[in-house]
Amino acid sequence: LYPESYKVRVIPSFTQMLGVRFNHSMQKLESYILEQCYIAVGQICMGVSLMGLDSCIIGGFDPLKVGEVLEERINKPKIACLIALGKRVAEASQKSRKSKIDAI
């Protein structure tokens, strides 16, 4: 998948980072990776909003079940988050909010 010259350069750095930053804990590394995904999700949602599209971050899903569905289309994925992107069918209803003065 990756050329040998790339592996020789990257693997030692990754190994050092895993030891120094994550104390050789794959669980800590996976938590860090998830946090990075959440940052990307925020940027994606802001970007599509600027393009006039809508987004909905989806929580409470079973990553293994989603992975099973997607596995038919891509290589064994590891699901971190889900976002629905597109254009809503109807405009969002007007929300009633307190004024800033009443809320503070």
36 assigned to some structural domain: yes
Token pair of 8 as six digits: 């020789």
What does pTM read for this prediction? Answer: 0.65
Three-class DSSP category at 99: coil
Specify the DSSP class assigned to residue 73: T
Q: How many domains does the chain have?
A: 1
99 assigned to some structural domain: no
49 assigned to some structural domain: yes
2 assigned to some structural domain: no
Range of the domain at 52: 25-89
d(CA 38, CA 43): 9
| β-sheet bridge partners, residue 57 | 83
pLDDT over 80 (residue 104): no
Query: Can you tell me the mean pLDDT for 57-73?
Result: 89
96 assigned to some structural domain: no
Per residue in 80-102, pLDDT (tens digit) is 899 999 998 888 788 788 888 88
> Residue 51 contacts by C-beta under 8 Å, 6 or more apart in sequence?
none
